[in-house]
Amino acid sequence: MENFRKVKTCEEEGPLPFPGLPAGVVHMKVKEGSKIRNLMAFATARMEARATRQIVFSGCGRAVTKTVTCVEIMKRKLGGLHQLSKVQYRTLQEVWQKQGHAEQLTVDKYVPSICILLSKDSLDPGEPGYQPPEPRDRLWTLDGGLQDQRASLLPPQTEKRFWEPPGQERVNKKMKVQESPVDYRA
């Protein structure tokens, strides 16, 4: 392997792991050498426009940390954003060439990648990887796990919905709560 040199790497372009996104969604592809200030300058300018409802940040390999950092900065700056994070493996195709030879060797490399959707409109809270906008660092408190806290924090109502909730489920829950004390008294 010593005589081989990496000639090029190409990233396999797959579709985003979020079905039902509009076509013109802003997609920030974070790379290892991207500057956070450049990324954020562009992204915040786009997100400040009222028409932009969603933004996607994605990065793989060593850019994952930077991607998460960008998302965290964006959440802190704007507030009230619903988040959906997906992690997956992405294939990197590396072409290696032996020095002085024409023969090439193609290697598929699987690197961890992350895709994060930030939305001004509410998303499906049942989807794995969903985070409501309000509690920022409640994940780190001792009592109760991730799940217990999330159950008590339903996303607040917003004027427009990206995801339609299934009918009257929420209304029914409220009604049950009201009914139960009446039962006890009787």
Partner 1 sequence: MAENRPATRLEPKGAMGLDVEMDRAEHTLRRRLPRKLPKRNNDVYINMKTDFKAQLARCRKLLEGGGFNEICIHGLGLAINRAINVALQLQANSFGTLQIAANTSTVELVDDLEAEVDDEEPASRTRNNSAIHIKVYHSFSK
For residues 36 and 69, the answer to whether their CB atoms sit within 8 Å is: yes
* Span near partner 1 by CB under 8 A; candidates 6-14, 23-31, 60-68, 177-185: 60-68
Binding status of residue 72 toward partner 1 by CB under 8 A:
yes
- Residue 182 Cβ vs partner 1, minimum distance, rounded to whole Å: 32
Going by C-beta distance under 8 Å and a sequence separation of 6 or more, which residues neighbour residue 64?
112, 113, 114
- Residue 34 Cβ vs partner 1, minimum distance, rounded to whole Å: 15
The token duo for 126 is 């049942």
* Span near partner 1 by CB under 8 A; candidates 10-18, 37-45, 130-138, 152-160: 130-138
- Residue 72 Cβ vs partner 1, minimum distance, rounded to whole Å: 5
Which is closer to partner 1, CB of 80 or CB of 112?
Answer: 112
The token duo for 118 is 């930030």
For residues 56 and 18, the answer to whether their CB atoms sit within 8 Å is: yes
For residues 9 and 92, the answer to whether their CB atoms sit within 8 Å is: yes
Interaction residues for partner 1, span 94-123 (CB under 8 A):
112, 114, 116
The token duo for 174 is 């409220």
Which is closer to partner 1, CB of 43 or CB of 71?
Answer: 71
* 161: DSSP letter: B
Torsion (CA) 159, 163, 168, 170 in degrees, nearest 10:
-80
Site map (CB under 8 A) of partner 1, residues 143-172, x = contact: --xxx-------------------------
Write phi, then psi, for 72 (nearest 5 degrees): -65, -40
For residues 91 and 12, the answer to whether their CB atoms sit within 8 Å is: yes
Which is closer to partner 1, CB of 7 or CB of 36?
Answer: 36
What are the residues binding partner 1 (CB under 8 A)? 61-62, 64-65, 68-69, 71-72, 76, 83, 85-89, 112, 114, 116, 128-131, 136-137, 139-142, 145-147
